[in-house]
Structures are given as structure tokens and as C-alpha cells.
Amino acid sequence: MRHTQTTARVGDPPGWRLDQCATQRNLDERGIAHAQRIGRWFDAQRLTVTTVRNSPRCRARDTARLAFGRSEDWAPLANLFEDRSGADAQADAVRGFVRAMKAGELAVLVSHGVTIGHIVGGRLALATGESVVVRAGLGGGAAGRTRPPSRALS
């Protein structure tokens, strides 16, 4: 899943630090509300998420926590926007994680558009909060693309 809405077309400010959320580009009010709606959508579908991992950037961590009530920073989901030197290793780690999942497990991995595109092996342009569904055992390929609701569910 790509993290939810931030200030559009604005990168992290100069001098941002991974360990200080206040220095990063973060979710805006729409992104906060959207992440909460995604969590309610999963609940309404009775989908039990067994694992939630996210990029160490605050916007991905906050999306995970707001939607699923938990998060786990995982370096392979880090943003590739500034540095692609470890991109293939990151993608291999994520693919390996998916291949190792057991039947019945449902993992949500929250990352960034460019990172997700690299992991699935193509130029994929996800909107904020949009997801790619991947099933283990199907060659690691994308099984479909989903758009959790952008409007509140009743």
C-alpha cells in the first residue's frame, strides 16, 4: 500500500531526518482521515491482518498505525526516491517475505510509490492509499490493484 495523502508534489524539506517526524513531509488531514477509513474498510470486510510493516518514514508509519493500530518499521520498504543503490536488494527482501508467508496470512506493507513500483517490477503509479495485491505462490506477481474507499463508510 502506498501511504495516504500528504502535501501534493512536495518532497521532504531540506535537512529532514528519519528520526524526527517534524522534519519530514507528513500526512495531511485528508491523509489521516483516509488511513482511518482504510482500517474501517478492512474491518467491514472482516479481513484479519496478521502482519503490518512499513517504511521507516513517518508518513508510512502513521498510515499503518491509523489504519491498523500498529506498525513495524522495515528498511526494505524505505523510500527509493533519493537513493536507488539498494533498490534490488530491498525488492528481493520484500519478495522473499511474500514467498515465505503461510496460507491464511494477510500482510499489509506500507511504502512509497517509487518503491512499490520497483518491487513489482514495473512503472506503477499508485495513488495515495492505493494498493497492489500480491499472492504468494503465484510467482510473486501482482494479482490485482485495489483502491480502498476514499469516502467514509457508514
The predicted-structure confidence for 41-61, as pLDDT tens digits, reads as follows 999 999 999 999 999 999 999
Number of domains in the chain: 1
Which residues 6+ apart lie within 8 Å of 126 measured at CB? 2, 113, 116, 117, 132, 145
Residue 8 lies in a domain: no
Lowest mean pLDDT among 28-37, 70-79, 118-127: 118-127
Residue 2 within any structural domain of the chain: no
Q: Please check whether residue 58 is in contact with residue 78, taking contact to mean a CB–CB distance below 8 angstroms.
A: no
pLDDT at 147: 52
Residue 44 burial class via C-beta count within 10 angstroms: exposed 0-12, middle 13-18, buried 19 and up: exposed
Q: Which residue is listed with cell 500526512?
A: 27
Residue 141 confidence (pLDDT) above 50 = no
Residue 153's pLDDT is 36
Least confident of 38-42, 57-61, 105-109, 119-123: 119-123
Neighbours of 2 (CB within 10 A): 25
Task: Return the CATH number at 30.
Answer: 3.40.50.1240
Q: Are 111 and 60 in contact (CB under 8 A)?
A: yes
Establish if 59 belongs to a structural domain.
yes
pTM score > 0.75 for this model? yes
Max CA pair span of the chain = 44
Is residue 129 in a domain?
yes
Q: Is 153 a member of any domain?
A: no
Residue 48 forms part of a structural domain: yes
Q: Grade residue 148 by pLDDT with cuts at 50, 70 and 90.
A: low
Q: How confident is the model at residue 143 (pLDDT cuts 50, 70, 90)?
A: very low
Asked if residue 45 belongs to a domain, the reply is yes
3-class SS of residue 32: helix
Domain that holds residue 79: 24-146
Q: Is residue 4 part of a domain?
A: no
d(CA 101, CA 114): 24
